[in-house]
C-alpha cells in the first residue's frame, strides 16, 4: 500500500481537527501535472434563437473531417492537447468544403477532477472524525479548552492523538519532526516488551480462523473496560483506568503478552494460540512485529515458550539463512518440507504436543504462518 506523508508543524502541540480532514484528502489525492488532452468530439448544430444541438458524428462525417484535416496528424484521443487543437480548429474553420455544422470538443481536466475528488475525500473523513469525537474515540476541545462533543471549525486535538489517528491509515510523518522518532522508539519498546493494542491482539487471534475478529475484539474491549484485562497507555507502565466514561481505543491502549495469555487461559482455554514471551522469542531468533506475531501453543494448563512451534521456527530460520547463503531465493512454501525433515533429525527431535513429527502441511499451517523470515 502506498504511503503518504503528512507534515504536522513542528511547533504545534495541538491541531485543528478540520485540518486533519484536509491533510488526509491532500495526501490521498495529489494534484497531477498531467496535461489536458482531447477526449471527445461531437457535431455542433446551430438552431434558431441561439439554441443548438449536439450529436455524434456519422461515419460519413468522420470521413469528411479526416479529409479536411489530412495535412495534420490523425486525430487521437488522450494525445492532442488544447494548444495542438488550435491547428485542427483553424484547418476546419478555413476549409473550402467546411460543412454547415461545427465541432464541439471536450478535453480532460485532471486538475479539476483531482480537486473534486479531494472535496469528496475531505467530506468523508470529516464525518469519520466527527463521529470519533462524538463517540469519545478522539478527545477534542474547543479553543477555550472546554470538552468538545462534535467537530466544528475551532475544535482542537492534541498532536499525539492526531498522529495516532493518522498512523493506522498508512500515513507517514515528516522525518523533520522529533515526535516521529519518539513514536518509533515507543513502537520498538512496545514490541520488545510484548505489548499489543487490542486490535493487534485481535488480529493475531483471528489468524487461521481461530476466532471471529469482531467477537474477539468485543470480548477484549469488555475485559479491558471491566479491568479483567489490564491495559496501558503507550509508553506508560501504570495501569490505565477507564474513568469518567472514557472510551476504549482499540488502536491505542496496550496489553502485555502474559496478561493476554492469562485472560485466554480463563476465558478461551480451548484456543491453541498463545502470545510469545518476547525474551524467549528473541533468544530463538524469531522476529515479532505488530502485524506478525509468532504463535506458541496452549499446552493445557501450562503455557510454555520453549515449545515445539518455537523450536520449529528456529529451524526454519536456520534453513532460510542456509538457502540464502547458497544463492537461493527460498519461500515459506519451498522450505516447509525442509523444516519437517529438520524436526526429525536426532539432534532436534521436535514433536507436536501429541508426540508426532509434524509433516510439511502441519508445518505450513502451524509454524510458518506466524513466522517472519530473517532479513539477513
Segment 29-50, tens digit of pLDDT: 888 888 899 999 998 887 777 7
Q: Are residues 156 and 117 in the same domain?
A: yes
C-alpha grid cell, residue 282: 528473541
13 in the same domain as 133: yes
CA atoms of 154 and 242, how far apart (whole Å)? 27
Q: 181 pLDDT band (50/70/90 cuts)? A: very low
For residue 293, the Cα-to-chain-centroid distance in whole angstroms is 18
Q: What is the pTM for the complete model shown? A: 0.45
Is the predicted pLDDT of residue 244 greater than 60, yes or no?
A: no
Residue 189 binned pLDDT confidence (cut-offs 50, 70, 90): confident
- CA distances to 89, 171, 201, 335 from 155, in Å: 53, 22, 32, 54
pLDDT over 50 (residue 304):
no
Residues 172, 144 share a domain: yes
- Dist. CA 286–CA 316, nearest whole Å: 10
SS3 63: helix
Within a domain: residue 344?
no
E-only strand ranges, the chain = 4-6, 14-16, 38-46, 52-55, 102-107, 156-158, 171-173, 195-197, 254-256, 273-274, 296-297
Domain end point (choices 92, 107, 122): 107
**% of the chain with per-residue pLDDT over 90:** 19
274's CB contacts (< 8 A; 6+ apart) are 261, 264, 295, 296, 297, 298, 303
Which of residues 54, 75, 107 is at a domain's end?
A: 107
Note the pLDDT of residue 93. 92
* Domain finish residue from 176, 206, 227: 176
88 and 134 share a domain? no
| Same domain as 100, residue 52 | yes
Q: Which of 87-101, 161-175, 263-277, 349-363 has the lowest mean pLDDT?
A: 161-175
43: domain range? 38-107
- Asked if 61 and 163 sit in the same domain, the reply is no
Looking at the fold, whether 23 and 140 belong to one and the same domain comes out as yes
Whether 161 and 134 share a structural domain: yes
The predicted model gives 185-196 an average pLDDT of 77
For residue 78, pLDDT over 70 is answered with yes
CB atoms inside a 10 Å sphere around CB 91: 15
**298: exposed, middle or buried (Cβ count in 10 Å: 0-12, 13-18, 19+):** buried
Is residue 137 assigned to a domain?
yes
Task: Identify whether residues 9 and 132 lie together within a single domain.
Answer: yes
Amino acid at each position: 500500500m502506498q504511503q503518504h506523508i503528512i507534515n504536522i508543524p513542528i511547533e504545534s502541540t495541538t491541531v485543528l481537527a478540520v485540518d486533519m480532514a484536509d491533510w488526509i484528502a491532500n495526501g490521498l489525492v495529489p494534484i497531477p501535472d498531467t496535461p489536458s488532452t482531447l477526449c471527445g468530439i461531437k457535431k455542433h448544430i446551430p438552431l434558431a434563437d441561439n439554441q443548438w444541438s449536439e450529436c455524434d458524428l456519422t461515419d460519413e462525417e468522420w470521413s469528411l473531417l479526416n479529409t479536411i484535416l489530412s495535412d495534420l496528424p490523425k486525430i487521437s484521443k488522450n494525445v492532442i492537447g488544447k494548444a495542438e487543437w488550435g491547428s485542427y480548429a483553424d484547418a476546419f474553420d478555413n476549409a473550402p468544403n467546411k460543412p454547415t455544422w461545427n465541432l464541439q470538443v471536450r478535453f480532460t481536466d485532471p486538475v479539476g477532477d483531482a480537486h473534486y475528488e479531494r472535496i469528496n475525500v475531505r467530506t468523508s473523513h470529516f464525518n469519520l472524525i466527527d463521529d470519533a469525537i462524538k463517540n469519545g474515540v478522539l478527545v477534542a476541545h474547543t479553543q477555550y479548552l472546554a470538552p468538545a462533543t462534535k467537530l466544528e471549525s475551532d475544535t482542537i486535538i492534541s498532536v499525539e492523538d492526531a498522529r495516532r489517528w493518522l498512523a493506522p491509515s498508512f500515513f507517514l510523518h515528516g522525518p523533520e519532526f522529533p515526535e516521529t522518532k519518539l513514536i518509533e522508539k515507543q513502537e520498538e519498546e512496545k514490541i520488545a516488551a510484548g505489548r499489543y493494542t487490542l486490535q493487534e491482539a485481535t488480529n493475531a487471534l483471528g489468524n487461521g480462523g481461530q476466532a471471529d475478529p469482531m467477537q474477539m475484539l468485543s470480548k477484549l474491549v469488555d475485559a479491558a473496560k471491566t479491568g479483567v484485562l489490564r491495559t496501558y497507555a503507550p509508553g506508560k507502565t501504570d495501569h490505565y483506568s477507564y474513568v469518567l466514561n472514557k472510551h476504549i481505543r482499540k488502536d491505542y491502549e496496550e496489553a502485555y503478552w502474559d496478561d493476554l495469555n492469562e485472560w485466554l487461559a480463563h476465558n478461551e482455554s480451548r484456543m491453541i494460540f498463545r502470545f510469545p514471551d518476547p525474551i524467549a522469542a528473541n533468544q530463538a531468533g524469531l522476529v515479532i512485529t505488530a502485524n506478525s506475531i509468532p504463535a506458541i501453543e496452549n499446552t493445557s494448563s501450562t503455557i510454555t515458550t520453549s515449545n515445539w512451534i518455537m523450536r520449529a521456527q528456529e529451524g526454519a530460520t536456520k534453513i532460510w539463512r542456509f538457502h540464502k547463503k547458497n544463492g537461493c531465493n527460498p519461500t515459506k512454501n519451498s522450505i516447509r518440507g525442509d523444516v519437517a525433515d529438520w524436526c526429525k533429525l536426532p539432534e532436534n527431535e521436535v514433536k507436536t504436543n501429541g508426540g508426532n513429527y509434524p509433516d510439511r502441511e502441519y508445518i505450513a499451517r502451524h509454524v510458518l504462518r506466524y513466522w517472519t523470515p530473517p532479513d539477513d
